[in-house]
Every structure is written in C-alpha cells, then in structure tokens.
Amino acid sequence: MTEFAPELAQPLLLSGDARARGRGQAAEGDADRVRAATVGRVETARAEGMIDSAAEDYLARQRAFHAEHDPEGMAELSGIAEGFGLSEDDLFVHLHLGTLRDLKSGAKLDGDGCSAWAAPEGPDGPIVAKNRDYSGLHLGIQRVTLHSGPDVTTGAMLCVGSLGSPAAYSSGMNARGLMLADTQVAVRTHRVGWLRYFLMTRILASCGTVAEALALIASRPHAGGGTLIMADASGDTAAVELGAAGAGLTRGGIVWRTNHFVLPDRADDTLFPDGDRIAGNSRERFAYLERSLPGLSPVIPDATKLMCTHRDSGPAAAPLCQHGETEASQTLSTAIYSCRFGSLTFSQGNPCAGKWQTYRMPS
C-alpha cells in the first residue's frame, strides 16, 4: 500500500426523531435482503428450537426493560419495522440471537466476531479501529449512516451498521469526538438488562466523553456479553467488558479486545461456542494485537495495514482479516475513526481488497 488515497463518500442521511430515523432506513434498502438477514435468521432459530418458552419469557422481560430505560431505542426499532414491513417483535428477537445462543449453552450460530482497538494519541489520533466479523448475509445491507435528531444531544452520529438494526450496530463516532466500537463475547451468564446494540446508540447520542459513557454504563444493569472500545477527543480511552455481574474496565493508553473476556474476575465467564471458527481464534488475534499495537504509528494508513493482516502475513501473524463464503461469518468491513479529522476511513468488505472510502463528520 504505497499510496493511500481513499475516495470521499457520502453516508445515508437520517434525521428526525428516533422513529423517523428508523423508518428512513427503508429509503435505501432491499427489503427482501433485510428480511433474510434479520427475520429469516429468527425463523431458522425457531425451527432449530432455540426460542423455547424460557427464551420467550426472557425476551418479554427484556422488552419491558428497554421500554422503560431506552424508549428512544425501541422507537427506532419500531420505525425500522414499519419502514421495511417487518415484525418489530422478530427484529427485537434478532438482536438477541447471540444471547439466546449463550442461554442454550453455546448452540451453534455462526455470527459475531470482531477485533477492535483504540489509541489515545498520534498524528491522526485519537483513533478507534474495528474489523467487523459477522454473517455474510449482511454484506448487502451494511451501511454508513449519519444521524441527527432531537434525542441526539451530541449533535450528530456517524455510524457503521446494518439496515434493519439500530444505528450503532457495529461502531460510530459523534460530533463531540467520542468514538465507539464493540466486539462480541459469548458468555455463560446473562440477566435482564441493557443489550449493547441499544446501549451503543444511546452512548453516542448522549455522551461526549469516555467518562460520560462510563457513567451511563454504570447507571443500569446489562444483559451481559460483548465489549466496548472507546476513545474521546481528550485522548481518554477505555475497554469495557459487559458482564452480567457488572462492567469490567481497562482505562487509558492503547486498549484492544477480540472475542473473549480477559479481566481476571470475568475471564471464566467466556463461553467458546463449539465449532465457531472466528471465536476459536480470538486469543490468537488478541495476542497479535498485544504484540503489534505498542509499536504501531497511530496514523490511518498504518492502521489500515494492520487490519489487513492474515495468518500468513508474517511471523506469528493472526487472521485479523477473515475470509468466508456466502453466508459464513467473515470480515464485512473495517472502520477507522479519527478524532482529529472527524473522519471514518472505511472498507466495504475485506480490507485487504484495498477499496477504501472516507466519510466526514459535518463541521
């Protein structure tokens, strides 16, 4: 990659209240493809017996929790359902499929993966970067969106996600400079609480700093599972492990996570699903980032090179860029957020293909 010159691109603009923004997704979406990637997966899960009476009871309690604590998130989901002509109940179930898999003791569901990290300083910093590893069904519905509205008190949100799902379904940054990405972690323990797919959007809509985000996270119980990687304009960073018993925190400096918990009081809660290719190399990717990030120059071109790494890229390299076929879980995109430039450098598909675009936060 001798010359790095991504083309400037425009996000899908979504404005108005949360319901209107959800409904607006349908303006640029293939409804059949969205249905296959969301409701279609729910139908498969039902046919396989994953959604039994215990799961239905848990989902009902989760709906009551989110209606009380995140009405904007539920309004967005309602708008999405209306726009695409889908069942709101099924969309809510879709967002919980990873949790329901865990409750079935690791039932096979090829899905989330991801590698994410944040660096607090440097010529382009602070930076948050993520390789999004997810079902290939989302290849055609992945979008970069720009959200504004009365509940987005941070000014605007530039998000990477999927049509049919909440705004910050994978990562995002807001106009105040807070950047956020998640990774999936299957866990043994869940409870009724905030699901991170709703939580991420609410953080970007209402928090301008890592400190504010951590205060919001601490104010509510969480369903459990997954991590958040964050950085803000001051250079503050955090990695948060969202355990059902409470959030674990690594604060400051370079932070990174893959698909397992690493903090001593939470590591044993990780559930490694049998046969899950991406979850199975989580420790390998974590160790590679641990070795590579301290020596990385935190500029966007060098960050893109790191995220293109395959197992055969060099001695002791790990598959940060993961390839799959058809519906298999694979690296759908790379997102690199720069606070200094208010930009998202984005690869639609595997980053090694070199097809990069830049999206900018309006000034």
DSSP 192-228: SSB-HHHHHHHHHHH-SSHHHHHHHHHTS-B----EE
Is the confidence at residue 277, as pLDDT, over 80?
no
pLDDT at 2 over 80: no
Overall size of the chain counted in residues: 363
pLDDT of residue 109: 40
Quick check: helix, strand or coil at residue 263? coil
Residue 3 has pLDDT above 50, yes or no: yes
- Structural domain boundaries of the chain? 13-103, 115-360
pLDDT of residue 273: 60
CATH superfamily of 115-360: Penicillin V Acylase; Chain A (3.60.60.10)
Q: Mind listing the pLDDT tens digit for each residue in 63-114?
A: 999 999 999 999 999 999 999 999 999 999 999 999 998 988 654 445 557 9
Who contacts 202 (Cβ-Cβ below 8 Å, separation ≥6)?
70, 72, 73, 216
Q: How confident is the model at residue 139, as a pLDDT?
A: 72
**Inter-residue contact 345 to 336 (CB < 8 Å):** yes
What is the pLDDT, as a whole number, of residue 136? Answer: 64
What is the C-alpha to C-alpha distance for residues 323 and 310, in angstroms, rounded to an integer? 9
Mean local confidence (pLDDT), 298-314: 93
Q: Is the dihedral of CA 215, 216, 220, 221 positive or negative?
A: negative
